Amino acid sequence: MVTSTHEASHRIFQEHPEVLAPVFEALGLPPPAKSIIEAMSPDATEIRPMERRVDTVLKVEPSEGDRFMVAIEAQTSRAPNKGISWAYYVAYLHAKFEVPVLLVAVCKNKPTSRWAAGPFESRVGPWATQVTRPFVLGPHNVPEITDASMVVESPAMATISAIVHSESKSIDAILGLLARGMRSFDKATAKYWCEFVEVGLEDTPARETWKGLQKMVATYFPGRGTLFEETYLEGKAEGKAEGKAEGEAKGVLRVLEVRGIPVSDDARKRITSCTDPDRVAKWLDRAGTVLRAEDLFVEESEVPEATCGEGGS
């Protein structure tokens, strides 16, 4: 079944083959920037009654060495008979284009990554006529985003990293850095990459986190109808009816909620009782990155109780 992760990976690898950098490094080849990479038809069908399509097929002509093809498959879990399909893809593409074929499986968790590495064999007793060993891109060899500057330098790698690590324990921190880094882009570029992440995270818990974090990016292009605006616009809509500060305060609490950040009674009271819209707006900006609810108030001077309630600085 074609999933959102399939679609996101399909587009990223076709439009930004630089995300194949770990593959080139493993093969001892020059980086993709020194290669001519052409997207090919993913159709591997010979007879119409049986349709077979690879997620992405790229033809690579390195500046050094022989040309080859890369067949890329996004795999979210183990699948019966997938090894048979993969063996067919490799054999068919090799026969049709007469160049070696590297099969790359993109996986989101370690168990799937271990399974996808194979080997998948066509075997009778001790004799294996054909053996398929995919190269796997997964949490074990795709680096996590550890700094927002990584997003600016290589948004494609950062996006595929977020998708690959979407089931890891550190995904909240990864998405926080991703959202922060995207604020360096212009509107069109930020929207472009945000859509990749939205699609690639599918229905994972990480997607809910992303919906909260994207408020930091949403302010750059409001009204586009993308998911990253939902939390922000929810607070703004309520603000029209109940007061701007009150509506945005609910937005602050919502962002913290979807990120799983505990909110003490004192912090909640301070947030909900504040009537200064500018101050609450700053809290809403910070809500996507703080590690504790109390961090919203760091480096703030004391304000009158009647304006922003009780609580420490």
CA distances from 92 to 50, 95, 173 (A): 14, 5, 42
In this structure, are residues 156 and 19 in contact, taking their beta carbons and an 8 Å threshold? yes
User: In this predicted structure, what is the pLDDT of residue 306?
Assistant: 39
Domain count across the chain: 1
Do the domain assignments include residue 300? no
Cα 45 from Cα 293, distance rounded (Å): 55
Do the domain assignments include residue 11? yes
Of 27-31, 90-94, 279-283, 299-303, give the range with the top mean pLDDT: 90-94
The per-residue pLDDT for range 260-269, each reduced to its tens digit, is 788 999 999 8
Structural Rg of the chain based on CA atoms: 24
- Look over the chain and give the mean of its residue pLDDT values, rounded to a whole number: 76
Helices (H), the chain: 4-15, 21-27, 82-97, 110-116, 148-153, 155-164, 171-182, 187-200, 205-213, 215-218, 230-242, 244-258, 265-273, 277-286, 305-308
Verdict on whether the full-model pTM lies above 0.85: no
Do the domain assignments include residue 113? yes
- For tokens 């160049």, name the residue: 99
In this structure, are residues 296 and 267 in contact, taking their beta carbons and an 8 Å threshold? yes
Confidence of residue 2 (pLDDT cuts 50, 70, 90): very low
Look up residue 69 and give its two tokens. 């093809």
Q: Which domain holds residue 118?
A: 4-137
Q: Nearest CA to 33 among 142, 211, 154, 180?
A: 154
Q: What is the DSSP letter of 52?
A: -
The per-residue pLDDT for range 146-171, each reduced to its tens digit, is 888 888 888 888 888 998 998 888 88
Do the domain assignments include residue 203? no
- For tokens 């609450």, name the residue: 280
Does residue 223 surpass a pLDDT of 60? no
User: In this predicted structure, what is the pLDDT of residue 103?
Assistant: 93
Do the domain assignments include residue 208? no
Do the domain assignments include residue 125? yes
User: In this predicted structure, what is the pLDDT of residue 148?
Assistant: 82
Please report, for the domain that includes residue 80, its CATH number. 3.40.1350
Cα 116 from Cα 21, distance rounded (Å): 19
In this structure, are residues 108 and 116 in contact, taking their beta carbons and an 8 Å threshold? no
Confidence of residue 46 (pLDDT cuts 50, 70, 90): very low
- Top pLDDT among 236 and 187 is at 187
The per-residue pLDDT for range 181-206, each reduced to its tens digit, is 887 787 778 878 877 887 788 777 88
Confidence of residue 98 (pLDDT cuts 50, 70, 90): very high
User: In this predicted structure, what is the pLDDT of residue 130?
Assistant: 92
Confidence of residue 241 (pLDDT cuts 50, 70, 90): very low
Cα 240 from Cα 76, distance rounded (Å): 42
Q: Nearest CA to 17 among 60, 63, 55, 52?
A: 60
User: In this predicted structure, what is the pLDDT of residue 179?
Assistant: 84
Coil, strand or helix at 102: strand
In this structure, are residues 142 and 108 in contact, taking their beta carbons and an 8 Å threshold? no
Do the domain assignments include residue 37? yes
Cα 300 from Cα 285, distance rounded (Å): 14
DSSP for 120-172, written as a single string: EEEEETTEEEEEE--EEESTTTSPPP-SHHHHHH-HHHHHHHHHHTTTSTTHH
